[in-house]
Amino acid sequence: MAAQGRGFWLHQLVEYGIAGGLIMMSAQSQSPAVPVALGIALLINAAIADGGLSAFKLVSRRVHKYIDWLIIVLCFVAAAVADLDSIGRLALIALGLVEGIIVLGTNFAKKPPREVRIPRLNPKRHR
């Protein structure tokens, strides 16, 4: 994957935006159940991952990545199998493609903790 990719916090922010857009878009659809379900799944996945913008740190970043790939596959399968209008079908295909690009370009590694720096006192200044 991407060793020097985008930060995980940005990945989460984009997922929140995509999920919200998909949920709002499906309100205009004739058959909104599948796009809403996938949007909610994406929103929950972003909210429970161990990242900077998560609401609940329940799953690791590795598990989050696997759930992302599952959502991508489900988007393509739902677009091919489910009874959707053309806008819903295109939205799911676009979601799968964009999410795939986001996942491939994200660095899922955790940053190492910072060293604790102890300030040194200058004996000439502090008398």
Phi, psi torsion values for 59, nearest 5 degrees? -120, 155
74-105 pLDDT tens trace: 999 999 998 888 888 999 999 999 999 999 99
Q: Amino acid letter at 90?
A: L
23-79 pLDDT tens trace: 999 888 888 899 999 999 999 999 999 888 888 889 999 999 999 999 999 999 999
Higher pLDDT, 108 or 24: 24
Q: Across residues 100-119, what is the average pLDDT?
A: 85
Count CA atoms closer than 13 A to 53's CA, side-chain side. 15
pTM over 0.85: no
